[in-house]
Amino acid sequence: MMKTAFLAADKLGSPKGDNVLLKLLGSTLIPSLGFVRPKIMRIDDECIDVRIPLGRRSKNHLGSMYFGVLAAGADTAAGFLALRHIRQISPDVVLIFKDFKADFLSRVDGHARFVCEAGEEIAGAVHQAEKTGERVNVTAPLGCWVEGKETQGPAARFELTISLKKKPS
């Protein structure tokens, strides 16, 4: 199923095809992502920018973004950047998250933007996993900004360790 979805997304191009793929993943394999409605605003081999709107589905009781939604945004940014490289290099490589670190610096009281610029490191890890067949770990740092308040600095910082391994043939 994923290889067919990858081909369809590639035909549509970025970011439109990536958003179709993200919506498909959110409606079938990862329903919690579908619920918070992330959208890829920009993606290339080096960087991804994911937006999650602040609304009824994502607010906590204080009117700011819920902790779990922030985690989902970080997961989406790092994971989808890895998925881009997996699609290009070897669809037989699978990813899981090994660990997750978060530093919450201020309230996210608006739409959240998650930016990960670890594309080069992730691509190298995908190549290594494809070549060796061994598990390869790579840490992807990323930040979360409140849309319209980017000059105030990040509202949160995350580090996710992505673990990659080629499926046995």
Q: How far apart are CA 62 and CA 106, in angstroms?
A: 13
7 is a domain residue: no
- Count other Cβ atoms within 10 Å, centred on residue 65: 27
23 is a domain residue: no
**pTM of the entire predicted model:** 0.93
30 is a domain residue: no
Q: What confidence score (pLDDT) does residue 161 get?
A: 98
**Quick one: average pLDDT of 41-62?**
96
16 is a domain residue: no
**Quick one: average pLDDT of 47-63?**
96
**Quick one: average pLDDT of 39-56?**
96
Tokens linked to 126? 């995908």
118 versus 7: the higher-pLDDT residue is: 118
Q: How far apart are CA 10 and CA 118, in angstroms?
A: 21
**Quick one: average pLDDT of 83-105?**
95
CATH number of the CATH domain containing 71: 3.10.129.10
Q: What confidence score (pLDDT) does residue 1 get?
A: 63
Range of the domain at 130: 39-166
Question: Could you give the number of structural domains in the chain?
Answer: 1
104-161 confidence digits (pLDDT tens): 999 999 999 999 999 999 999 999 999 999 999 999 999 999 999 988 999 999 999 9
74 is a domain residue: yes
162 is a domain residue: yes
Q: How far apart are CA 129 and CA 121, in angstroms?
A: 12
